[in-house]
Amino acid sequence: MHTLYDSETFSVTHMLANAVTADVPADTLKAGEQLLIIPRLARHGFEIVNKRTGKEVYLDGSWAELFQQHISAWQLKTPSQEEVEDTLESYAELAQNPVMLH
């Protein structure tokens, strides 16, 4: 889990799929290696919290891919805070879940 953005209005957290370490005989691995098993449905997502409304939305699947495209575009051309917040506002309109713990 990585916080990507945090302002007075929004917080964006990238949730990563968890990989688990496999139990394999140590003599089959090179020094310092670990075998990781990625879950079959390993999916990452993004949690966007609108601090003004106290609601959050979790983006996964195609929504997460679309949001990832925004992040990639921002890495190429650094946006203003207003541009970032406008984009987050458009996603936050999907928010229905009240924030319980943060």
What tens digit of pLDDT does each residue of 5-34 get?
Answer: 999 999 999 988 665 455 555 566 566 665
Predicted local distance difference test score (pLDDT) of residue 38? 52
Which pair of tokens denotes residue 10? Answer: 């929004």
b/e code 38-65 from CB counts within 10 Å (16+ = b): eeeeeeebbbbbbbeeebbbebeeeebe
Taking residues 37-58, report their average pLDDT: 79
Predicted local distance difference test score (pLDDT) of residue 2? 87
